[in-house]
Structure 1
Amino acid sequence: MEMKFLFAATISTLVLISVYCRPRSINTINKSQSNSPAIDAEKLLPPDHVDAVKFEKDGHINKDFHKEVFLGNHEEIDDEPIQIAEAKLVDIFHRIDKDSDGYLNEGELDSWILDKINEHMNEAMEENTAIFKHLDPDGDGYVEWKEYYKHFLLAKGHGLNETEKYLEDYDTDILQDDERDKLVWYKFKWTDADIKPIDNRLDVEEFFSFRHPEHSVQLIENMVLSIINSLDVDKDGKLTLKEFSKPDIMEEDPTTEKERDEEYKVREKEFVSAIDKNNDGVATKEEMMEYMNPRNPQQSLQEAKNLMSLMDDNKDGKLSVEEIKKHKDIFISSKIVNVKKVLHDEF
């Protein structure tokens, strides 16, 4: 299960899975890892936020989606003073303007956004390969759950000797409650990705699905079914506009009423403009899968249309530099110097 608000389990289930997560013997972990340094925790763990994907893993709309598919690595702009950031935005405009006519048409936007989405996906794959090699020092092409478990403990700051002793005999439980809960969560995700065959170990492709399930058709389907099951009040296997735009579970979020109302409006717009393609008032599993799949070629075209509708003030079907600059708030914070956002908060 992918989204935090979708995860519900009884205490007894958590206990059982927590025990299942524990390896029984350190001997099954390759001895060449004994001197392996701890990898950065943020890189080891599945990210909560994934660039260029419309949904966060906590169930909220990705508010940075416009930035990520228009600017690429938008952190470079977020860190700049507003004047420099605006100049970079104009430079990007001219790079998108392939025919150099001084305007951006829908086709140019579509092509550019598709390239940016692919860049994000390629970056995720490259990072995944590097992390996988770190976890697979013997180069056998697999990472066992027990190997991942060990690196998780090291990444959380537990010492090597302490970790190996714990994995040997479990005399002392060194896990904090939040660490144990996270391991339970990651074990669910690990099991979802372990599909060919089911052997409690992942090859590099499965490991990529574990960290980025949005790139796996099967895991996208699993996630969509989980979303529908969680939000489908009348249990008819589909989502109405109300069920999708105002999920009851969001009322528990620590946000203000104004922020919740804004979230509801964004979700409602997404449902009407991007999910319910046949305008029948309900979202089916197939429609949700098309919406969630970043590889869907309709994603870039839909975003091109969205950006055009947001910024094309004179409705001439194209964007000028002036219109881009006028609506720079879509891409650039109004602060003089922006604080770089930590984007690993998932989908």
Structure 2
Amino acid sequence: MSLLVQYFLLCILVISSTANLNLKVIGPKPSDQQPGSKGYDHDAFLGKETAKKFEELSGEESRRRLGIIFDKIDTDHDGIINEGEMEKWIGITQKRHIEEDTEKKMKRYDVDGDRKIKWDEYYRTTFGGLETDEDWKFGEEEGFSYKDMHKRDRKRWEVADLDDDDHCTKTELTAFIHPQDFDHMREIVFEETMADIDRNGDGFLDLEEYINDVYKPETKGEAEPDWVATEREQFVNQRDKDQDGRLNEEEVRAWIMPSDYNYALAEAKHLIYESDSDQDGVLTKQEVVDHHDVFVGSQATQWGEIFNRHDEF
């Protein structure tokens, strides 16, 4: 196998492994990073691409620009950001990320430039470097299968392709890339998620499978953090409703497909809670700037692209 082919295969491996992270709760998400992490908060507040660029700014510059952002979020210009304004902003950021990511993928896959992606175009762009049986087996020792990835992608493609013409329009491609954001894709994402975490394939999740999904120790024998013990308790006392020691399909669906969960609202509540110094339920500009590390990365955070689009920055 040539070094070029090996590099191509490693690229697919990295892309595919990151694409399937954090699918445990199905629904629109502000970020694909771990909920509760600073990276997740920054992506939700700024957008994934702009968050990366904002990390190059100094602390002073990030605070200055964060103040300008505050004024954009404060749509009623009363000098504070309430929960509704924060939720709306996160929703806008999330929508922008999805649109920009889909357009980027559209350009990558649309070989003939007709603004429709044929399955053959997607296949050649994604799997075109897999020319031999050895290529297709690359990564299997680490538990990754290109054959399984191809089978999964094809099945998801057929669900996203609503008119069954084996082409994806931009809307259909969006459903293929971001299936958790479309109601008609929820079932396929549920099936993919179960395939990932139901290691013994019995159609149920036992406690070990559940914990292996939410926690992976970095070193062998390391002590579990306290939150893992909390997850064990939640499995036993909340998720396993019939108390038979495992989660059946209905119980798994209640876990990963909650009907009343709003990511943007949950993140808005979280950001306000983390930054609300006087605990009055709203944020002033000073509170946002004082807690800039909650919102942005920088040598301080992640926003560059938004700033570059607006002369006022």
TM-score tier, shorter chain, comes to 0.5 to 0.7
| Residue equivalent to 1:320 | 284
CA RMSD of aligned residues (A): 4.9
Q: Which of 122, 125, 133 matches 1:148? A: 122
The 2-side partners of 1:266 and 1:93 are apart by: 35
Quick one: which amino acid aligns to residue 278 of structure 2?
Answer: N
The list of structure 1 runs, each at least 4 consecutive aligned residues, that deviate by more than 6 angstroms after superposition, is 197-200, 256-259, 265-268, 337-340
- How far 1:92 sits from its partner (Å)? 0.9
* Bigger mean CA deviation after superposition, 60-69 or 259-268: 259-268
Counterpart selection for 2:64 from 70, 87, 98? 87
| TM superposition shift of 1:198 | 10
Unaligned 5+ residue runs, structure 1? 1-37, 157-162, 341-347
* Alpha-carbon distance in 2 for matches of 1:54, 1:264: 24
Letter in 1 for 2:288: I
The number of equivalent residue pairs is 268
Residue 75 of structure 2: SS of its match in structure 1? coil
Instruction: Check conservation: 2:87, 2:268, Cα contact below 8 A.
Output: yes
Q: 1:75 aligns with which of 52, 58, 63?
A: 52
CA contact (8 A) 2:32 2:40 kept: no
Q: Is it true that 1:105 corresponds to 2:75 in the alignment?
A: no
Q: C-alpha distance in 2, partners of 1:217/1:153?
A: 28
Q: What's the counterpart of residue 257 of structure 2?
A: 289
Instruction: With the length of structure 1 as denominator, give the TM-score of the two structures.
Output: 0.58
Amino acid at match of 1:307: L
1:220 corresponds to which letter in structure 2?
A: R
Q: Does the 8 Å contact 1:104/1:319 carry over to 2?
A: yes
1:212 paired residue among 157, 172, 178? 178
Could you tell me how far apart the structure 2 residues matched to 1:250 and 1:81 are?
34
Aligned equivalents of 1:184 and 1:217: distance in 2? Answer: 24
Q: In the alignment, which residue of structure 2 is the partner of 1:66?
A: 41
| Separation in 1, partners of 2:177, 2:68 | 33
Q: CA deviation at 1:71?
A: 1.8
Cα deviation, 1:106-147, whole Å, max 9, x if unaligned, reads 12212212211221122133223323422xx184945234x4
Alignment partner, residue 53 of structure 1: 29
Q: Secondary structure at the match of 2:108?
A: helix
Change (3 A) 1:144 1:107: closer
Gap runs ≥5 in structure 2: 1-7, 23-27, 304-313
- The one-letter code matched in structure 1 to 2:185 is L
Aligned CA distance change for structure 1 residues 322 and 231 (closer, same or farther; 3 Å): farther
Residue 329, structure 1, aligned to residue 299, structure 2:
no
Distance 2:220 2:189 in 1: 28
Q: In the TM superposition, what are the counterparts of 1:117-128 in structure 2 within 5 Å?
A: 117-128=94-105
Compared with structure 1, are the counterparts of its residues 266 and 316 closer, same or farther at alpha carbon in structure 2 (3 Å cutoff)? farther
